[in-house]
Amino acid sequence: MAHVPTAEEQIQSLREEIHHHEHLYYVLDSPEITDAQYDALMNRLKKLEEQHPELITPDSPTQRVGGKPREGFAKVAHSRPMLSLDNAYNEEELRAWDQRVRAGLPSSETLRYVCELKLDGLSLALQYGAGAHESAHLERGLTRGDGTTGEDVTTNVRTIRSVPLSVAAKKLHTAHLPQSFEVRGEVVLPQAAFVKMNEERVAQGLAPAANPRNAAAGTIRTLEPNIVAQRRLDFYAYFLLRDGETLLPTHTETLEALKTAGFRVNPHGATAKNIDQVIEFIAKAEPLRETLGYEIDGVVIKVDSTAQQRRLGFTGKAPRWAIAYKFAARAGITKLEDVLFQVGRTGKVTPVAALTPVLIGGTTVTRATLHNADEIERLGVRIGDFVQVERGGDVIPKIVSVIDDKEHPRGKKEIVFPSVCPVCGSELMKVEGEVDWRCVNSSCPARVREELLHWSARSVMNIEGLGDAMVAQLLGQNPTFDEGTEAVTEEGAPITTRKPLIHTIADLYRLKREQLLGLERVGEKTADALLAEIERSKAAGLARALLGLGIRFVGERTGQLLAQHFGSMKALREASAEELEAVNEVGPKVAQAIVEFFAVEKNLQLIDDLESLGLKMTAEKRVVGTTLEGLTFVLTGTLPNLTRDEAKEKIEAAGGKVSGSVSKKTDYVVAGEEAGSKLEKAQALGVKVVDEVGLLKLLNG
Ligand code: IVH
C-alpha cells in the first residue's frame, strides 16, 4: 500500500517548498510560481498547522507575521561591537587610505580589495543557532544601537522575506558553515515601497518620512509586526561571524558562503587589485544610483584577506581595513519661483513647486512636490524663498526646509491654496479626517487625462503608443497641458486646442482610423499600431480591468485576488462588503471602497460600455488549450530550442502548471542539458522524465 504522508511530513514538505519559492522570489528575484500558487501553498500549511498546533516551529514560514512584540525592545549586547566606517570624500582621501593600508602590511604581500555598494539603510546583526535536523535557525535580530548594545527586533526581522528563518543542514554543509553563526548586513527599504509608504502617511495626515533610511529605521523599530511585513524591507548580507570572529579566510569567500546559505548578497560588487581599479569601480557605481530601486550613498572598500584585516586592526570606532567612499549629497539650495497645482486621477490636488533650475546629483531639478496644504503650512514656505531641496528615494524631489539667513532673504508672497479646481473650476472638497483637497468633478479634463494614462500604463492595459502626448491630443489638449506653460509644438509653433476625440476610457474603444489620421503627426503606421494595441487590450482580463478602473486601494495584487475569487465583473459588482471581506487580504477599508465604487452610476455605466465594446470582464481562463489540464511540470536544465520561459508559457497556455521543485505530485520533469538534482529526484521518485521533443508531443496532444 502507498505510504500516506503524516501531517508532520506534509508540513515539512510544504515548508521546504515554501522556503524554496521564497528564496527564488525574494533572494534571487526569479519566481517560478505565481503569487496565487504561493498563497495556496501557504494556506495549506496554515490549515495543517491549525489542526496540529504542536507542530508549529518558530522557523515555519507562517510565523513571519504575528507574534506580539514585547513592550519596547530589549537591549542586548553585541557579540562584537558593530563599528562604523571612516569616510573618504574624494580621490585624494581614498589614495591616502590606500597608502596607509599598504604601509601597515609587509610590502611582499599581495593586496586585494573588495568593492561593494554602500547601501543606505541600517545595519542589523542576525544570530543563528542550532535548529531541528541539524539546521541553523534565526534566533535573534539586533539593531546596531550604540554599537555595543543593540535592540532586539527579532519579531520584525522575521517578516523580512530575504532573511532566511532557517538554513538547512545541506546548505550549511555546502557553504562550510557551522550551525551557529552571525550574519551582519543592511536593511533597506526599496524606493517604490518608500514612495507608497509616504503616500499612505500623507493620506493619513502624517508627515512623510524624509528618506528611505529613516523610513526603514522607523519600520524596523515599530511595535506592529504586521506593518513591518507590509513594508517589504530587504536585507543584504555583508558579514559573517562566529563567536565574534570572522569565520572565513577572505571576504570574497564570506560573500560566496552567504549566497550559498541563501542570504541575499548585493550583486554589484567587485574585487580590485589596486586603488586605480577601486576608483574605476566607483566611477561605474555612481550612475547606478539612478537605476537600482534602492538608495546607496557610496562605495565600501574592504581588504579581502581576513589575516590582513587582523593585522591592520582598528582605530577607535572604525576598522583600518575598510573605508566608505561617499558620493556627493543629493541636495541643493534653490529658489521657489512659483507653486502650481496639479490634479491627479482621483481628483487630488497636489501643490508642486516650480524652482530655479539646480543641479542635484547629476540631474537638473526644476520641480519639487509640496505634498499638500498641511505640508506648506508645516514648512512655512513662501514664494521667493530659498529652499533646501533633496532628492531622496522618491523620484520626485522634495523641499525639506526653508533657508533663512543673510545671503538668503525670505520670500514675500504667501502661497494660496485654491478653493476651486485649477483645471475645471469645480469647487474643491475635503473628506473629514483626510488632508487632501479633491476635485470631485469626475469629468474634469485633468482627471480624465490621468485616468487614461493609468489605463494605458504597462502594469495595467499596457497600450503602447498611448502616452502623454497621444492622450493630450485625443483629449484635444496641447501636450504641455499640465505644466501651465504655453502650448507649442516641438518646433515652437503654437498648437490650437481642438475638439476632443474622446471623453472617457470607453471612447478609446470607439476610436476610428480616420479620426486618428486627422491628428497632428499621426501617420497610417502610428494609427494602425495604436488601434491594434487598443484592440489587444480588450483581452487583458478582469484583474487588469479592475486595476485600470482605479478603485481606491485596489492595486495589482488585490485586483488579481478579487478577479480569481469572483471570476466575473458581474459577480464582483453584486458582492456585499461581507462577501468582499471573505477574500484573502481584503479588509473593511478596501471592501468599503469597492462597494462605494460600484454605487456610483457613472462607474457602472463605464463598465457596461466597456463590456459591450468587447472588453473581457472575466478572470483569466486558459485560452489556448486544455491538453495539459491538471498536470504539474518541473523544468530543469537547458532545452535545445525553447527557453525556460517559453516552455513555461506553452505548458501554462495548455492548462498545465509549472512548479519549481519535484515531489511525488509532479507529473513530468522536462529535462534538458545539464539537468541537475531535480532530474535525480525525479528518477528517485519515479516521476516521468521527458525531453523537449517529448514535451512538444504532449502539447500537441
Ligand atoms: S561594512 C566594520 N559594508 O555603512 C564595518 N557597511 O558607515 C562595518 N553599510 O554601519 C560595515 N553598506 O550600516 C559595510 N557594503 C557595506 C555597507 C555598509 C552600507 C553601512 C553600515 C555601516 C555604515 C558605516
Give me the mean pLDDT over the 324-329 stretch: 86
Q: C-alpha distances in angstroms, 51 versus 4, 47, 56, 283, 473?
A: 17, 6, 10, 57, 60
Choice from 186, 246, 297, 312 to test ligand 1 binding pocket (greatest atom count within 8 A of CB): 186
**Distance from residue 467's CA to the centre of ligand 1 (Å):** 41
Which residue's C-alpha comes closest to atom 10 of ligand 1? Answer: 84
pLDDT at 482 > cutoff 50: no
The amino acid occupying position 635 is L
Helices (H), 118-248: 154-157, 169-174, 191-203, 212-220, 225-231
Beta bridge mates, 26: none
What secondary structure letter does DSSP report for 29?
S
- The number of the ligand 1 atom at minimal distance from the alpha carbon of 319 is 2
Comparing 146 with 66, which gets the higher pLDDT? 146
* Beta carbons of 577 and 563 less than 8 angstroms apart: no
- The number of the ligand 1 atom at minimal distance from the alpha carbon of 123 is 13
What's the angle, vertex CA 642, arms to CA 639 and CA 644, rounded to 5?
75
The kind and range of the H/E element at 557 are helix 556-566
Confidence of residue 393 (pLDDT cuts 50, 70, 90): low
Phi/psi for 132 (5° steps) reads -65, 160
Which pLDDT belongs to residue 201?
Answer: 72
Choice from 116, 118, 143, 241 to test ligand 1 binding pocket (greatest atom count within 8 A of CB): 118
Which pLDDT belongs to residue 484?
Answer: 34
Choice from 124, 238, 292, 317 to test ligand 1 binding pocket (greatest atom count within 8 A of CB): 238
137, 85, 83, 125: which is closest to 239 by C-alpha? 125
- The number of the ligand 1 atom at minimal distance from the alpha carbon of 324 is 7
Which pLDDT belongs to residue 28?
Answer: 67
pLDDT at 127 > cutoff 50: yes
Confidence of residue 230 (pLDDT cuts 50, 70, 90): confident
**Distance from residue 118's CA to the centre of ligand 1 (Å):** 6
Catalytic positions, written as ranges? 118
Specify the pairing of strand 688-690 against strand 149-151: unpaired
Which pLDDT belongs to residue 3?
Answer: 76
Report how far residue 470's alpha carbon sits from residue 485's, in angstroms, rounded to the nearest whole number: 18
What secondary structure letter does DSSP report for 583?
S
* Beta carbons of 555 and 547 less than 8 angstroms apart: yes
Average pLDDT of the chain, as a whole number: 86
Give tens-digit pLDDT for 263-292: 999 999 999 999 999 999 999 998 888 788
Comparing 337 with 621, which gets the higher pLDDT? 337
Confidence of residue 481 (pLDDT cuts 50, 70, 90): very low
Q: Which residues contact 28 (CB under 8 A, 6 or more apart)?
A: none
State pTM to two decimals: 0.55
Q: What is the 3-state secondary structure (H, E, C) of 324-375?
A: EEECCCCEEEEEEEEEEEEECCCCEEEEEEEEEEEEECCEEEEEEECCCHHH
Confidence of residue 258 (pLDDT cuts 50, 70, 90): very high
* Beta carbons of 158 and 165 less than 8 angstroms apart: yes
Q: Which domains does the chain have, with CATH numbers?
A: 7-63 (1.10.287.610), 87-326 (3.30.470.30), 332-438 (2.40.50.140), 445-538 (1.10.150.20), 540-612 (1.10.150.20), 632-699 (3.40.50.10190)
- The number of the ligand 1 atom at minimal distance from the alpha carbon of 116 is 15
Specify the pairing of strand 657-659 against strand 632-636: parallel
Q: Which residues contact 328 (CB under 8 A, 6 or more apart)?
A: 361
Looking at mean pLDDT, say which of 331-335, 369-373, 507-511, 586-590 comes out highest.
507-511
**Distance from residue 251's CA to the centre of ligand 1 (Å):** 14
**Distance from residue 298's CA to the centre of ligand 1 (Å):** 10
Cα 265 to chain centroid, rounded: 17
- The number of the ligand 1 atom at minimal distance from the alpha carbon of 118 is 12
* Beta carbons of 542 and 563 less than 8 angstroms apart: yes
Report how far residue 121's alpha carbon sits from residue 160's, in angstroms, rounded to the nearest whole number: 14
pLDDT at 521 > cutoff 70: yes
* Distance linking the first and last C-alpha atoms of the chain: 32
Give me the mean pLDDT over the 627-656 stretch: 83
pLDDT at 506 > cutoff 50: yes
Comparing 337 with 553, which gets the higher pLDDT? 337
Q: Which three cell numbers stand for residue 430?
A: 475635503
- The number of the ligand 1 atom at minimal distance from the alpha carbon of 122 is 13
Q: Which residues contact 310 (CB under 8 A, 6 or more apart)?
A: none
Which pLDDT belongs to residue 184?
Answer: 97
**Distance from residue 223's CA to the centre of ligand 1 (Å):** 25
Report how far residue 646's alpha carbon sits from residue 652's, in angstroms, rounded to the nearest whole number: 10
Which residue's C-alpha comes closest to atom 22 of ligand 1? Answer: 84
543, 523, 663, 527: which is closest to 36 by C-alpha? 543
Q: Which three cell numbers stand for residue 640?
A: 535545445
Q: Which three cell numbers stand for residue 455?
A: 489605463
**Distance from residue 84's CA to the centre of ligand 1 (Å):** 7
The kind and range of the H/E element at 88 are strand 87-88
Looking at mean pLDDT, say which of 231-240, 288-297, 489-498 comes out highest.
231-240
Give tens-digit pLDDT for 432-449: 878 889 998 888 889 999
**Distance from residue 22's CA to the centre of ligand 1 (Å):** 26
Give tens-digit pLDDT for 70-123: 346 888 999 999 988 999 989 999 999 999 999 999 989 999 999 999 999 999
Which residue's C-alpha comes closest to atom 16 of ligand 1? Answer: 118
pLDDT at 605 > cutoff 90: yes
Which pLDDT belongs to residue 27?
Answer: 66
Residue 624's CB: how many other CB atoms inside 10 A?
12
What secondary structure letter does DSSP report for 25?
I
What's the angle, vertex CA 316, arms to CA 312 and CA 322, rounded to 5?
45
27, 21, 20: which is closest to 266 by C-alpha? 27
- The number of the ligand 1 atom at minimal distance from the alpha carbon of 239 is 1
**Distance from residue 313's CA to the centre of ligand 1 (Å):** 16
Look at 337-351, 477-491, 551-565, 681-695 and tell me which has the smallest mean pLDDT.
477-491
Choice from 123, 187, 306 to test ligand 1 binding pocket (greatest atom count within 8 A of CB): 123
Report how far residue 350's alpha carbon sits from residue 341's, in angstroms, rounded to the nearest whole number: 6
Which residue's C-alpha comes closest to atom 23 of ligand 1? Answer: 84
Which residue's C-alpha comes closest to atom 12 of ligand 1? Answer: 118
What secondary structure letter does DSSP report for 408?
B
Which amino acids bring their CB within 6 angstroms of ligand 1? 83-85, 116, 118-119, 123, 186, 238, 300, 319, 322, 324
Task: Give pairs for 540-544: CB < 8 Å, separation 24+.
Answer: 540/460, 540/461, 540/462, 540/615, 540/616, 541/616, 541/618, 541/619, 541/620, 542/566, 542/567, 542/568, 542/569, 542/572, 542/616, 542/617, 542/618, 542/619, 542/620, 543/619, 543/620, 544/460, 544/461
Which residue's C-alpha comes closest to atom 13 of ligand 1? Answer: 123
Confidence of residue 29 (pLDDT cuts 50, 70, 90): low
Which pLDDT belongs to residue 251?
Answer: 97
